[in-house]
Amino acid sequence: MEEKATSQQLLPHLFRLEYAKMTAVLCRHFGLQHIEIAEDIVSETFLKATEFWGLHGIPANPTAWLYTVAKNKTKDFLKRQQLFDTQVKGNIRTDEQQPEPDLAFTQQLFNDSQLAMIFAVCNPANSPESQICLALQILCGFSVEEIANAFLAKRETIKKRLLRARTNLRNDDFKITTLREDAIQSRLATVLRTLYLLFNEGYFSASNNHLIRKELCSEAIRLTLLLVEHPLTNSTKVNALLALMCYQSSRLDAREDEAGETILFEQQDKDLWSKELIDKGNYYLVNACSGNEVSKYHLEAGIAYWHTTPTDNKKWEHILQLYNELILIEYSPMTALNRTFAFAKVYGDDKGIIEAEKLRLEANSYYHSLLGCLYAGRDVEKAVNHYNTAITLTKSAKEKRTLLKEVERLKGKA
């Protein structure tokens, strides 16, 4: 019973890590028009693992076991082609016209296949939103619910968007065996936006009552690193995004206590911050600044850099200046709220309150959280009212508990 419980814990982790990689490799063989076949084979592999490991225990090398089963299932499928529906029969072939694939599942094959798959799913025939939804599902293993939460959209809306996007993907002539420079240039912006959204969903998750999902952050970093390591995609913008991810990830272990409760930034134990990730962030930020381009990723990486440095008199002035530039490049309510927090750090809470109330984001929980924070030292009653409104508006159970603690603290202080 204990072994079975262990396998149930391990399989979701392996699914998140290996599902997309295995699907990408099989799509190199079958072609994008038959992506569902590749997904079915990989899904059947994990289903077999669930049944077999539950009865016989976890094998010595679980990942190698999955690769072997997937390879055997692919060979079995090809041998049974003549039994398939005539719509599929005869259409499935390898690029080399071989009856059986040589699926070694090497790291190089994974890297090449996934890098090509990233650009394949970001099909210009689809809207940017549909491209991102498709990439999150195929590349990252997101469920429909997780994608809906990431976009703050209804499940049915996302399901319809994915259905249309998959149809266009099957009809696309993009070959995932090779990468063309023209295809990279036309799709890179959407690829970066997808990886950015994936990381944000892990860093501040809106689903499954998990405030932090480290596996999603790690997956986003891994995919972005693939771009940095390829000569056709190693741009300053990509380096800036990777620097941002490294800086933000450096603080993950300090953002929650042992009970899983949130620790606010100024209360975090800085000894828990990862110096290794901060150093990597510095490395990629230096690479990002080798040209003249300044993107939103450059500015956000700069903001994250200042958050990881020791506090000095100019720190928040630097952060506010970067937010002022960022809000001109791409406005969003969260950017405006974060800028207002930095504004209050520079000019004081009273002026910060005036600046915040100009935004009039009454339906936004973070708006009320910010006002609760700014009013805390001036008007406890107003602070508590704003925190209570934020509690009502947020969907995150962990965030509710964090806000409730602030309300109790303020009431005790009063």
Whether residue 70 has pLDDT greater than 70: yes
What confidence tens digit (pLDDT) does each residue in 142-183 have? Answer: 888 888 877 778 899 999 999 999 998 888 777 777 777 887
Averaged pLDDT score across all residues of the chain = 85
Nearest-CA neighbor of 347 among 317, 307, 383? Answer: 317
Confidence category of residue 413, pLDDT binned at 50, 70, 90: confident
CB 265 within 8 A of CB 211: no
Nearest-CA neighbor of 26 among 87, 114, 108? Answer: 114
CB 281 within 8 A of CB 305: yes
Determine what percent of the chain is predicted with pLDDT higher than 90.
44
Both tokens of 115, joined, read 């890098």
Residue 323: C-alpha distances to residues 248, 302, 331, 336, 342 (Å) = 16, 10, 10, 8, 8
- Of 112 and 101, more confident: 112
Nearest-CA neighbor of 242 among 214, 292, 277? Answer: 277
Structure-token match 């190089």, residue found:
108
Neighbours of 265 (CB within 10 A): 10
| Distance separating alpha carbons of residues 274 and 300, to the nearest angstrom | 19
**Dihedral (CA of 371, 375, 377, 380) sign:** negative
What confidence tens digit (pLDDT) does each residue in 297-340 have? Answer: 999 999 999 999 876 678 999 999 999 999 999 999 999 999 99
CB 389 within 8 A of CB 381: no
Residue 336: C-alpha distances to residues 132, 194, 327, 364, 385 (Å) = 24, 22, 7, 12, 22
Both tokens of 208, joined, read 């499954």
CB 76 within 8 A of CB 100: no
* Partner residues linked to 256 by β-bridges: 262
Whether residue 98 has pLDDT greater than 50: no
CB 192 within 8 A of CB 238: yes
CB 13 within 8 A of CB 215: yes
Confidence category of residue 34, pLDDT binned at 50, 70, 90: confident
Determine what percent of the chain is predicted with pLDDT higher than 70.
89
- pLDDT at 1 (0 to 100): 40
- pLDDT at 126 (0 to 100): 86
Whether residue 208 has pLDDT greater than 50: no
- pLDDT at 279 (0 to 100): 96
What confidence tens digit (pLDDT) does each residue in 251-302 have? Answer: 988 887 777 677 777 788 888 899 999 999 999 999 999 888 899 999 999 9
The two most distant CA atoms of the chain are separated, in Å, by 78
What is the residue-wise DSSP string for 216-263? HHHHHHHHHHHHHHSTTT--HHHHHHHHHHHHHHTTGGGSB-TTS-B-
How many secondary structure helices (H) and strands (E) does the chain include?
18, 0
Which residues, 6 or more positions from 310, have their beta carbon under 8 angstroms from its beta carbon? none
Domain 310-414 has CATH 1.25.40.10: yes
Q: Model's pTM, two decimal places?
A: 0.80
